[in-house]
Amino acid sequence: MMEYSLTTHADPLLIEEWNHFIPAQKTGSLFQLPVWSELFNPKTHRWFFFEGRDDQGLRMTALVKARKIPLFGLDCYMDRGPVCDDRSRLKEGLAKLVALLKTEGAIRLTANPYWPYPFGKEIEADLAALGFLPSSKKHSSYFETSVIDLGKNREDIFKDFRKDTRSRIKNSQQKGVRIRPADSEADVKAFYDLFEKMGQKKGMRIPRYGFFLNLWKKVLRDQTLGLLLLATFNDHLMAGIIITTHGLRAVYSWGASDLEFKEKVSKNHLVLWEGILWAKERGFQIFDLGGMTGSKGLDPVMENIDAFKAGFGGQVQQVVRVHNLVLQKSKESVLRLVRT
């Protein structure tokens, strides 16, 4: 029989258990590890730790980020949560979580469990049965992506790339493009400056520098949960990518390049290839290219990003979309004004 609990305090035992449980799950995510709660301002975010156990131990976890809306209650969000590889437990546990959050004053709960094809539609049906509805807003948590099977040998992975992608990688190698992991806060700042400048030119919203600095210190520096890779040509920083690890997956999470770089050498292809090899060497099963937007003919910027990722082969998969559940219908009009 499952027992469920909700707490705002992550003691050392909880952290240790979660750090072992979540990476071992197919549905595991960095965004659901306790360390993720340490990257945000405690003055603006409150965190709940939900878990389900049976006599065999931990079976389900959910890290819930709550933002207080003055005079109304808590707007709650689970990024790639809950974590549970058993569909029947997931549905039951979500129902328990909803009930417990109601007692804490939650007015909305947003969820998008990291369930890949072919189970995504089944999970969405379970969410619908609990009253969740797909969100109509754009979210950073994608629901369609392309994945590379890292169980193949590196030669076969490379052969699956599009011809022009292979050529760009080889050309970068021949011209002496250097790829290295970031090893200092100065490297993080250099990457962020590149990212910020690119974001301004493309009209993209990007996180603040403090977030990336915290991400570096707590997640990327020792390369256990990801890494920041930099690409330089003649000592000029021309691109960088951040890979984060989510359960059995490694995910291309952020990337930036120098849009004013004029040398005839690819900025991005070799650094991503090296990131894929890094993930394979560390035993991850899947490399996730970080989302496909399906923006062909709609958004030239996003269309180009999709085309770049498509060059690395992989299989297009769907994961669960972002879903919202309004817990206090009388306050629903206020929620429409609040960005998730």
Query: Per residue in 168-220, pLDDT tens?
Result: 999 999 999 999 999 999 999 999 999 999 888 877 788 899 999 999 999 99
Does 140 score more than 60 pLDDT?
no
SS (H, E, C) the chain: CCEEEEECCCCHHHHHHHHHHHHHCCCCCHHHCHHHHHHCCCCCCEEEEEEEEECCEEEEEEEEEEEEECCCEEEEEECCCCECCCHHHHHHHHHHHHHHHHHCCEEEEEECCCCCCCCHHHHHHHHHHCCCEECCCCCCCCCEEEEEECCCCHHHHHHCCCHHHHHHHHHHHHHCCEEEECCCHHHHHHHHHHHHHHHHHHCCCCCCHHHHHHHHHHHHCCCCCEEEEEEEECCEEEEEEEEEEECCEEEEEEEEECCCCCCCCCCCHHHHHHHHHHHHHCCCCEEECCCCCCCCCCCHHHHHHHHHHHCCCCEEEECCCCEEEECCHHHHHHHCCCCC
State the average pLDDT over residues 121-149: 84
**pLDDT averaged over the chain?**
90
Which pLDDT score is estimated for 259?
85
What domains, with CATH codes, occur in the chain?
Answer: 3-138+321-335 (3.40.630.30), 145-318 (3.40.630.30)
Q: What is the mean pLDDT of residues 101-125?
A: 89
Q: Give the span between the Cα atoms of 225 and 30, in whole angstroms.
A: 7
249-298 pLDDT, tens digit per residue, is 999 999 999 988 888 899 999 999 999 999 999 999 999 999 887 655 55
pLDDT band at 96 (very low <50, low <70, confident <90, very high): very high
Q: How far is CA 297 from the centre of its chain?
A: 26
- Quick check: 322 pLDDT over 60? yes
* Per-residue model confidence (pLDDT) at position 215: 96
pLDDT at 340 over 80: no
Per-residue pLDDT of 26-51, as tens digits, reads 999 999 999 999 998 887 889 999 99
Percent of the chain with pLDDT over 70: 93
What pLDDT, in 10s, does the model give residues 232-252?
Answer: 999 999 999 999 999 999 999
CB 268 within 8 A of CB 257: yes
pLDDT (average), residues 60-74: 89
Using pLDDT thresholds of 50, 70 and 90, give the confidence band for residue 309: very high
What local confidence, expressed as pLDDT, does residue 92 receive? 94
pLDDT tens digits, 222-235: 998 999 999 999 99
